[in-house]
Structure 1
Amino acid sequence: MSTTQSERLRELLEPLVTSQGLDLEEIAVDSVGRKRVLRVVVDSDTGADLDAIADVSRALSAKLDETNAMGEGAYDLEVGTPGAERLLTEHRHFVRATDRLVKFQLTEGGELVARILEVDQEGIDVEVPGVKGRKATTRRLGFPEIAKARVQVEFSRKDSKDSKKAMKEEEEA
């Protein structure tokens, strides 16, 4: 049974990432011109700040140098977090996206844009925004009903808890 380089690297690096309190979300080796780039995406329930990224990057770099897992040629190591419009593929991704607006492609066809309210083992409860003055409605989606889900970027959210908190702090200052 053959394994890909990415799978071998995942086996080598995942314990290090986990020991830093992070999840290894993605690993990819790409060729950019004559260089190779190892891209490692990490995350956690509370997110990963720059210090955590730097720490895990140093640990991964040391392990890669020690084991020569990338071979003799030059390569760049890039460690980061998932993008703003991340694809939700694991249960933990849906949990982390609670209170976020998500675009769902449904297995039966069609799309739905809704805010994740709650996640359990069988599926999620979402709030579908009202259209043309109508009130928002709630809906239950079982995981088998979801073909694809991607977080949406929101530049301004009128009812955001964070923006209300920030406005209150500004008033008090």
Structure 2
Amino acid sequence: MVERSSRLPSQRQVIELLEGEFARAGYDIEDVVIDTSARPPRIAVVADGDDGLDLDTIAALSRAASELLDDLDTSPYVLEVTSPGVDRPLTTPTHFRRARGRRVEITLTDGATVSGRLGDCGDETVALVVREGSRADLAVHEIALSTIVNAVVQVEFSPPNPRELELAGLAGEET
């Protein structure tokens, strides 16, 4: 009888083992959380892609991750592959690019808070479609990423304003 190790892989080991397979499928590993206090222990892999993750993609990534992790000599664990969730702060140019067309709330280094629809995103700036003036006219403001302290996607329950989408560079596209 072979005795199995009671150890789990480290976060780094999981990332190194899975990142190639996830990248081939078009997804990035955003984070790996290993919870040894749960019973059984839990390995959560947070992944994201340009088009987000749907349930079929999560299932396929879970199967691939499970096959790769099963080759390790570890104790039993529960594997979860998930998306970052709407409450994840936007911290990299890639996060902002993937949130293009969504409403966001941004806190700037001067303490000001601005909300609007995210438009074009570069490596150093983002465009934000905002309402301004007493008539709530729409305007596009360029914001340097270096001036953003915090940014989060806002949940919307109504369809986006077509003019906002047009100014965000998404006319005729679904967000």
Q: String of CA shifts for 1:16-65, please: whole Å, max 9, x gaps.
A: 21122211122111245432111111121122222221111111111111
- 1:131 positional shift: 6.4
Would the alpha carbon gap of residues 158 and 149 (structure 1) be closer, same or farther in structure 2, given more than 3 Å must change?
closer
Alignment match of 2:19 (pick from 14, 34, 38)? 14
Alignment match of 2:116 (pick from 99, 108, 114)? 114
- If the length of structure 1 is used for normalisation, what is the TM-score? 0.80
Q: Would the aligned equivalents of 1:38 and 1:75 in 2 still touch at CA under 8 Å?
A: yes
- Partner AA of 2:100 in structure 1: T
Alignment match of 1:139 (pick from 135, 138, 141)? 141
SS at match of 2:137: coil
Q: Would the aligned equivalents of 2:105 and 2:113 in 1 still touch at CA under 8 Å?
A: yes
For structure 1, the 5+ residue unaligned runs are 166-173
- Partner AA of 1:155 in structure 2: F
Alignment RMSD: 2.2
Greater helix fraction, Structure 1 or Structure 2? 1
- If the length of structure 2 is used for normalisation, what is the TM-score? 0.79
After the TM superposition, which of the residue ranges 83-92 and 35-44 deviates more from structure 2? 83-92
Alignment match of 2:71 (pick from 59, 66, 69)? 66
- Partner AA of 1:44 in structure 2: G
Q: String of CA shifts for 1:104-124, please: whole Å, max 9, x gaps.
A: 121222221121111112211
- Partner AA of 1:35 in structure 2: P
Mapped partners of 1:89, 1:7: distance in 2: 21
Q: String of CA shifts for 1:79-105, please: whole Å, max 9, x gaps.
A: 111212332122111111111111112
Q: Would the aligned equivalents of 1:85 and 1:153 in 2 still touch at CA under 8 Å?
A: no
Instruction: Give the paired residue count.
Output: 157
SS at match of 1:67: coil
Partner of 2:40: 35
For structure 2, the 5+ residue unaligned runs are 1-8, 166-171
